[in-house]
Structure 1
Amino acid sequence: MKKISKLLLIAISILSISIMLAGCGLLTADDITGEYVSIKNGQEQETPNKHYYLMTVEKDSSFQNQPAVKMRFSIQRYSEPLGKYYYDNLDCYFNPKTGQFFESDSKNKLTISEKKELVLNDKQFKRISSNTLDPSETNYLIDYVFRDLIKIPKYKELADKQSDDLSRDTLPLGEIIYY
């Protein structure tokens, strides 16, 4: 009886230790999805009509032949003249084994800090809620806003004042769109 009790105790101990250590400290995609706010010098920076979201696009995906979760970091802005939200999206891949984002060739780099905050290039974001958007809602992009705004005479004049050698984001109209 003592031998059975001892074996049972050992088996339970091994099982409980393996459960505790499996995934210890790793973030999951569900842990990081939600609404974020920009952080500057330790303070939350809120801009009216501008919101940040991290959402899951595809749970069972792959990146560089490894299992991954396809995610989208979206900056949501509101266009007063058009009366609708528009989005600036960064699609990325989350590694469920490491709890970090895969390195990509994109000029934008999304990482997770030690404080479990998102870092896009050098800008920090803190999760404020688990609210998120459906990825299909984020398809009205900045290029569409530019296209639709120049159909309005007031904004067409702003666009016409541009020099051909300037990019859209440096134009007066770009300042309206990229706030």
Structure 2
Amino acid sequence: MDGWRVGIGYDIHRLVEHRRLVLGGVEVPFDKGLLGHSDADVVLHALGDALLGAAGLPDIGDIFPDTDPTYKDADSRRLLGEIMAKVRAKGLVINNVDVIVHAETPKLTGIKRTIAESIASLTGVAVERVSVKAKTNEGVGPLGHAQAIACTAIVSLVAAVGGHPSGGVASDNA
């Protein structure tokens, strides 16, 4: 499998009381959390869709349908692990990850590095190949009114070094 592949993913969930807030596999201290069938981790869901798209696989909703009770309150770290196994089985590895979290609140300045480290650990890619940014919506729409949090993720994949799907990361020479 030659060449580069690029995928983009997006997810959004409403903020509600009595749920914990998980972003990128990291529990974020906040008085609200995201509503969803699983743990509603918009970062890992967007990343998962980006990975699946780049690998030419079905989207996250097809693989983990919200109509299946198996995935009720599922830990998105586990779901991402299953996605990574599918990507590796196609002989692909991550070259880089770029994530934008769209949230009016909470402010994520102090936790972006922790989220990047979590993503790096979960995907087997060097943290230097993971970028996490946070943007507000400047008070516009449901994101700007702190009614929801969204995430956009883009990934590039390359063939595993030596063609072995067990390879975890692209060569630094890529």
**TM-score of the pair, normalised by structure 2:** 0.27
Q: Which has the higher contact order (CA 8 A, sep 6+)?
A: 2
Higher strand share goes to which structure? 1
